[in-house]
Structure 1
C-alpha cells in the first residue's frame, strides 16, 4: 500500500463514522436502535440483509476453497444461501416481521418466552450469544489476516483497528447506522469487485480466453460442482443450515425483516437479498477460481491467494478500494451481529438476571444497549486473537464446523416455532432438541472423531447436529404435544394474513415494558 491506498482506506473509515453520527439523530428509543422503528424501506433492508451475510472470510477461507477446488465454493456456499433465502421469503420473513408489528418486540427471541417458556428462551439466548462471539471473532481474524498481507501490521493490531471503528458507528447509530453504512459498503464492494473481475479477465488472454481457460492444467477439476469434502451430503446439510441461519436463526438477519413496515415489505426485502446472493458472488468468485493460474499461495489452505492476486493485478488507488471492500463486508456483518446480540441481552437476558433492568425507561434501555454492543465487540475481538489456536485451528474451521454445526440446534426451535405446522412442539421438544443437538456436535467432533481414522468427515460434523435437533423437535411434538390455547393464539397472530381477521386483533397495543418485566419476574 502507498499513500493513495491509505487515503482511500482512511477516507472510508471517516465516512462510516460520519454515517453513524448522522444516524444517531434517528435513534430515540430501544425500538429505533434495534429495529429502526419499523420504518426501513424494503430495498434498504434487502441490501442490508445481503451485506450482513458477508465478511472477509469470503476473501480468505472461501478464497482458499476456490483456489483448491474451484466452482464448488459457489455451489456449496452462496447458492444454498440464495435458495434458502428465496424459500424463507414466504416461509419466515413475513412471520418474523409480525413479531415486531403485532407482538411489539424488539428482539427476535422475545416471543420465545410465550411460545415455549422462560427456560427455553434463556437457553437459546445464552447459547446464541456465545456462538455469535466465536463467529464474529473469526470475522475479525479474517480481516486482520488480509490487513497484515497488505500493510505488515500484526493480527492483533488489525483486529483492534477494525473493531474500534466498527464499534463507534454501530454503537452510536444502532440498526439505522448498520443499514446505511451497509448501503455505502455495497456500492464500494460493487466497484471493487467489478475492478478485480475486469483485471483478471484481462489476464486470461494468455490462457485461452474466458472459456478456454478451463482447459489449463492448473484448473483441472475446478469446473466440477461437488468435489473433495464438499459433496452431496454437505450441500444438502448446508442448504438446511442456511435456510434457518440466513432467515433469522443467527438473529442479525431477522432484524432486517423486523425493520420493514409490514410483512409484504419483508418478503420483498428477502427476495432482493436472494437475487443478490445468486448473482453477485459469481462476480466475486470468478477471480478466485482463476487464482491458481496467476499466483502461488503461500499458505497451505490458499487463504492468502486473493490478497496476493489483488496486490499483483491492481494499481494503487484501486488496490485501496479493494481493501476497503474487504473491510466493508466484515464490518457490515460484525456490526449487525453486535446489534442483534445487544437486542437479545437487553431485552431477553438482562430483565431475568437483574431486577433493575425490568424497570428501565427508554433512556436507560438505550444506554444499556450501547454498552452491551461495546462489550460484545470487545469479547469477540478477544476470541479473534485465539482463532488460529489448536482449539479452532483456522478461520474456515470456525465458520464451517463450529458455526454451521452449532447453529442448527439453536435455530430450529426459534424458526420452526413460528410455523403453525409445528404448534404441537412445545418446551420439551425445544429444550430436548437443543440439548441433544449440542451433544451430537460434541460427540462427532471429539469422542467419536478420536476413534475414526482421519476423523469424522466434515459433511457429517455439520449435518448430524442439525439432523438430531430437527428429528427430535418434530417427533417429541407428536409424542408429547404441548399446544395450549395461549400458544395457539400467539401463532395465529404470527401466521395470520395481514388483510385477514387476525390483522385487526394484532393491532391491539402491547403491554408496557414494565408490565412485561413483572411477568418475567414472576416466571423467573
Structure 2
C-alpha cells in the first residue's frame, strides 16, 4: 500500500468516528439507542439491514470458495439469503416493528418472556449471546487477515485498529450511528466493488467476460452445487438463513423495529432482498475470474482477493477496496454489539440484578454504552487469543450457522399465528434439543469421526423444528394473553398503546 492508500483508509476511519459523534446528539434514552425511536426511514433501514448481514468474511472465506469452487458459493449463500429475506418481508418484518410500536419492545428477545416464559427467554438470551462473541471474533480475524495481506499489519494490530474505531462510534451513537455508518459504508463498499469489477472486465476486454470465463475454467466451477455443498446442505441452509436474516440474527430484527411502521419495515426488507440477490454477483465475478489472473492459489485461496487487488488496482484504489472490507465487518460488529447490549440490559440483567429495574433513564443509557464497550472489547480479546485465522469459514458455518437454527426457531415461529399452541415447553425443548444434537456431532467431529457438513448444519435444525412442533401438539400451552400478543402483530391498526415495560410486566 502506498501513501495515497493510507490516506483513504485514515479518511474513512475519521468519517466513521465523526458520524458516531454526530449521532450522539440523537440519543436521549435507551429506546433511541436500541431502536432509533422508530424514526428510521425505510430505505436507510433496508440498506442497514443489508450491510449488517455480512462482513469481511466474504472477502476471505467466501472469496476462497468462489476461487476454488466457482458458482456454488453464490447459490448456497447469497441466493438463499436473498430469497429468504424476500419471504420474510411478508411474514416477519412488519411483526418485528409492531412489537416495538405496540408493546414498547426494545430488544428482539424482550417479547419472549410473555410469549413463552422467563426461563425460555433466558435460555435463548444466554446461548445466543455466547455464540455472538465467537462469531464476531471470527469476523475480526477475517478483516485483520485482509489488512495483513494488503499492508503487512500484524493480525493483533489489525484487530485493535478496526475494533477501536468501531467501539468509538458504536458506544457514542447506538443504532443511529450503526445505520448511518452502514449507509456510508454502503457507498464506499459499492465504489470499491465496482472498481474491482471494472478492472477485471477491462483485463478481459469487456463485460463479456461474465459468460466467457466459464469456458476457460474447470467445468465443475459452473455447477450450482458441488461437494461439499450438497442439495441437503442447500435446503438446510435456506431454512436457517430465512430464519437468521429475518430476525434470528437479532441485529437484523432491530432494523425492522427501527422503521416508522410495519408497512415501512416490509419495504425495507424487500430492498434488502433485492440487494442480496444482485450485489454479491458484482463482488463474486472477479473472484470467479481470479484463477485466470492469479493462478496457483488453491493452497492459500483465502488470500485470493488480496492477490487479485494487488495485480488489478492502481494506487489509491487498494485503500478504497480495503475500506470496503472494513465497512462490512464494522457494520456487522457494531450492529451485533448494539443488539447484544439490548439483550443484556433489557432481558438478562433485570433478571439477575434487581437494581437494573430501578435505574433512571440516564443510568440505563450509561449501562447500555458500558455494555457495548465491554462486548466489543471481549470479542477483540478473543479474536487475538484464539487461532481463528485459518478457519474463518469453519467457524461461520460449523458453529454459527449450525447453532443459529435451534435458537431462531422458537424466536421466529413464536410470532406467527399458526403456532399458537406452542408454549414454553416447545421453546425450551426445541432450543436444548437442537443445541444438544449439534454438540454431539461437533464433539464427534473434533475427535476424528467423519461428520458431513450437511449433517452438522441440517440435523440440529431438523431436531429443533420437530421438537417445537411435536411438543406443542402433545402439550399445547395456548393462553388468552399469548393469543392477544400474537394477534396484535397482524396489522398496523392502532391498538391501545402499551408502555415499554408492558411485555415484561405481563410475563
Using structure 2 for the length normalisation, give the TM-score: 0.97
- 2:100 maps to what in 1? 100
Distance in 1 separating the partners of 2:426 and 2:111: 17
Q: How does 1:210-359 map to 2 (within 5 A)?
A: 210-216=210-216, 218-296=217-295, 298=297, 300-359=299-358
What is the CA-CA distance between 1:208 and the residue it aligns to? 8.7
CA 1:88–1:281 in 2, change beyond 3 Å: closer, same or farther? same
Q: Corresponding residue for 2:481?
A: 486
2:399 corresponds to which residue? 402
Counterpart in the other structure of 1:498: 492
Matches within 5 A, 1:433-472: 433-447=430-444, 450=447, 452=449, 455-472=450-467
Q: Tell me if the contact between 1:438 and 1:465 (Cα under 8 Å) persists in the aligned partners.
A: yes
What is the alpha-carbon distance in structure 2 between the residues aligned to residue 82 and residue 516 of structure 1?
32
Partner secondary structure for residue 107 of structure 2: coil
Give the match for residue 192 of structure 2.
192
Question: Counterparts of 1:221 and 1:237 in 2: how far apart (Å)?
Answer: 22
Deviations 1:91-137 (A, max 9, x none): 00011111100111100000000001110111100111011111111
Q: Please list, as runs of the form range in 1=range in 2, the aligned pairs for 1:109-128 lying within 5 A after superposition.
A: 109-128=109-128
User: Deviation per CA, 1:174-222, whole angstroms, max 9, x where unpaired?
Assistant: 0000000110110111111010001111112499944332121x44321
How far, CA to CA, are the matches of 1:324 and 1:3 in structure 2? 14
Q: How many residues align?
A: 507
Q: Is 1:181 the equivalent of 2:178?
A: no
State the 1:151 CA deviation: 1.3
Following TM superposition, by how much is the alpha carbon of 1:299 offset from its aligned partner in structure 2, in angstroms? 6.8
Q: TM-score, normalised by structure 1?
A: 0.94
* Consecutive unaligned residues in structure 1, runs of 5 or more: none
Between the aligned partners of 1:404 and 1:301, the Cα distance in structure 2 is: 24
- Counterpart position of 1:55: 55
The CA distance in 2 between the partners of 1:180 and 1:246, in whole Å, is 20
Cα distance per residue 1:305-350 (max 9 Å; x no partner): 0011001110011111001000011100110000010000000011
Shift of 1:250: 1.3
1:297–1:57: structure 2 CA closer, same or farther, 3 Å change rule?
A: farther
- For residues 372-410 of structure 1, what are the alpha-carbon distances to aligned partners after superposition, in whole Å with 9 as ceiling and x for unaligned? 001110111122124535xx9610000111000010111
Cα distance, 1:378–1:297 mapped onto 2, change above 3 Å: farther
| 1:428 aligned onto 2:421 | no
CA distance in 1: counterparts of 2:207 and 2:168, whole angstroms = 46
- Kindly report which structure 2 residues correspond to 1:20-31, keeping only aligned pairs within 5 A, or say none: 20-31=20-31
Output the CA distance in 2 between the equivalents of 1:178 and 1:295: 36
Q: 1:299 to 1:169 in 2, by over 3 A?
A: farther
**Relative to structure 1, is the Cα distance of residues 362 and 516 closer, same or farther in structure 2, using a 3 angstrom cutoff?**
farther
**Residue 293 of structure 1, CA deviation:** 1.0
In structure 1, what is the Cα distance between the partners aligned to 2:52 and 2:84? 15
Q: CA deviation at 1:296?
A: 3.7
The CA RMSD measured in Å over matched residues stands at 1.8
1:509 and 2:506 matched: no
Write the distance in 2 (CA, Å) between the matches of 1:365 and 1:295: 53
Compute the displacement of 1:297 (Å): 5.8
Show CA shifts across 1:133-156 (max 9, x none). 111111100000000001111111
- 1:435 partner SS: helix
SS in 2 for 1:303: helix
The 1:3/1:450 distance shift into structure 2, 3 A limit, reads same
> In the aligned structure 1, how far is the partner of 2:196 from the partner of 2:93?
34
**C-alpha separation in 2, matches of 1:9 and 1:212:** 35
Change (3 A) 1:68 1:448: closer
SS in structure 2 at match of 1:133? helix
Q: Distance in 1 between matches of 2:80 and 2:468?
A: 23
Distance change >3 Å, CA 30–CA 296, structure 1 → 2: same
> Is the Cα–Cα contact under 8 Å of residues 297 and 303 in structure 1 kept in the other structure?
no
My pick for the range that moved more, 288-297 or 73-82, is 288-297
In structure 1, C-alpha distance between the alignment counterparts of 2:165 and 2:249, rounded to whole Å: 23
In structure 2, what is the Cα distance between the partners aligned to 1:201 and 1:208? 8
2:370 is aligned with 1:371: yes
